[in-house]
């Protein structure tokens, strides 16, 4: 099979949807399609030929789509695009599907589905191709597809000089399972926690609702980042879906930039881009954290943070939904400490306390 060809499995109980999606996808060069009317039939098809991408409805007989998604992620991670009438931007079930490991969500209407699918052919094809390049991709490597580094957005350069009065920046990166991990960490944070910037791999249209949900239960303020937002004590800024998040030094303070750019490490926003910007702007005043997720986005960036003098953490395997990104970071020597999810907030606050004591001691000795 050509390395660029894709095999897509459509799992939907609607014969109309299966028919139209097959027609839409089959017209695209390099895409072959199989269909299944429910997850049980789909499991048989997967045994016959493992797909590169699954398009999955949520409302189906015998087994609902979320349950099947959980099964796929835990047993044999295959990129899944959810295509459902239930998953409008910001909906709870859409967020849950992303939390469970879906790499993209396409909302279809309850009426005029045939017309929608034909009109949205480009969206559907783009979603499939993006999913195939995701970190949840097939074991078969798409070696000839370009994989850009942070250089494509933010060239490597020496970090800015750091003054002793500069505040700490905590940079976090997460993917599959990260929404729950971030909830646990933020709920354990107090209002005097250092400023936090986060990349959570999530499609456009969901990050604002995700941030609002976290804000309701967290011990800190949580918001979707806007260009120019200050990084301040007791606040976490979440990268908007489909935009890169960077940190800039402004005197002894920091602010974020929300920018466009190509996919980096097959993601936008990319953790590698965020981590590089924090390494350059904050250096030893930073704390880097890599959380649960598939693939390796963030591993190189965390190493850059460590080399710049930052304290770096990784979530341990037993508490990860997928020990992909942390494992890659550990293998690169990018991690100072591996710790369990329930202890991460404590480790961050403890590192900040030690930093403040060292800073106080330095000023007193002078």
- CATH number of 227's domain: 3.40.50.180
The pLDDT value given to residue 4: 60
**156 in a domain, yes or no?**
no
Q: Are 75 and 167 in the same domain?
A: no
The two beta strands, 235-238 and 221-224, are: parallel
The pLDDT assigned to 143 comes to 37
**90 in the same domain as 27:** yes
- Among residues 12, 38, 297, 316, the one annotated as catalytic is 297
Does one domain contain both 187 and 332? yes
| The total number of structural domains that make up the chain | 2
Do 223 and 312 share a domain, yes or no? yes
Same domain, 63 and 124: yes
Residue 117 lies in a domain: yes
Question: Which residue in the list 7, 201, 244, 267 is annotated as catalytic?
Answer: 201
Is 13 one of the catalytic residues?
Answer: no
Local confidence pLDDT in tens for the 366 residues of the chain: 344 688 999 999 999 889 988 988 888 888 999 999 999 999 999 999 999 999 999 999 889 999 999 999 888 888 898 998 887 777 888 888 887 888 778 887 777 777 877 776 777 777 787 677 654 433 333 333 456 888 888 878 765 555 555 689 999 999 878 888 999 999 999 999 999 999 998 878 889 989 999 999 999 999 999 999 999 999 999 999 989 999 999 888 999 999 999 888 878 899 999 999 999 999 999 999 999 987 899 999 999 999 999 999 999 999 987 888 999 999 999 999 999 999 999 999 998 776 665 555 544 444
Q: Are residues 115 and 210 in the same domain?
A: no
Could you tell me if 88 and 228 lie in one domain?
A: no
Give the domain range for residue 38: 6-132
Instruction: Output the pLDDT for position 331.
Output: 97
Instruction: List CB contacts of 148: < 8 A, sequence separation 6 or more.
Output: 262, 263, 264, 265
Is 175 tagged catalytic? yes
pLDDT in the model for residue 365: 43
CATH value at residue 84: 3.40.50.2300
State pTM to two decimals. Answer: 0.75
Same domain, 236 and 106: no
Q: Let me know whether 170 and 83 are in one domain.
A: no
Is there a domain that residue 309 lies in? yes
Question: Per the residue annotation, which of 175, 265, 270, 281 is the catalytic one?
Answer: 175
Residues 96, 205, single domain; the answer is no
């Amino acid at each position: 099979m050509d390395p660029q060809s894709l095999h897509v499995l459509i799992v939907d109980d609607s014969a109309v949807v299966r028919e139209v999606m097959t027609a839409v996808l089959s017209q695209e060069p390099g895409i072959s399609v199989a269909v299944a009317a429910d997850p049980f039939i789909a499991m048989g098809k997967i045994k016959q030929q493992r797909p590169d991408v699954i398009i999955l409805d949520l409302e189906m007989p015998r087994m609902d789509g979320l349950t099947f998604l959980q099964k796929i992620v835990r047993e044999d991670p295959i990129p899944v695009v959810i295509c459902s009438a239930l998953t409008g931007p910001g909906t709870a079930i859409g967020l849950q599907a992303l939390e469970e490991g879906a790499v993209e969500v396409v909302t279809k209407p309850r009426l005029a589905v045939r017309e929608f699918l034909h009109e949205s052919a480009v969206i559907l094809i783009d979603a499939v191709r993006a999913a195939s390049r995701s970190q949840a991709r097939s074991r078969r490597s798409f070696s000839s597809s370009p994989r850009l580094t942070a250089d494509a957005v933010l060239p490597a350069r020496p970090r800015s000089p750091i003054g002793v009065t500069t505040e700490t920046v905590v940079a976090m990166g997460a993917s599959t399972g990260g929404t729950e991990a971030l909830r646990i960490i933020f709920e354990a944070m107090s209002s005097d926690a250092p400023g936090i910037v986060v990349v959570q791999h999530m499609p456009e249209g969901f990050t604002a609702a995700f941030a609002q949900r976290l804000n309701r239960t967290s011990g800190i303020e949580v918001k979707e980042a806007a260009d120019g937002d200050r990084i301040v004590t007791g606040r976490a800024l979440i990268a908007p879906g489909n935009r890169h998040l960077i940190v800039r030094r402004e005197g002894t303070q920091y602010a974020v930039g929300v920018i466009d750019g190509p996919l980096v490490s097959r993601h936008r926003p990319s953790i590698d881009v965020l981590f590089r910007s924090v390494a350059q702007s904050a250096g030893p005043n930073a704390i880097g954290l890599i959380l649960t997720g598939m693939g390796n986005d963030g591993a190189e960036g965390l190493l850059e943070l460590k080399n710049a003098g930052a304290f770096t953490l990784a979530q341990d395997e037993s508490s990860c939904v997928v020990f992909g990104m942390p494992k890659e970071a550990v293998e690169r020597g990018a991690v100072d400490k591996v710790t369990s999810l329930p202890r991460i907030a404590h480790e961050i606050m403890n590192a900040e306390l030690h930093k403040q004591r060292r800073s106080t001691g330095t000023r007193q000795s002078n």
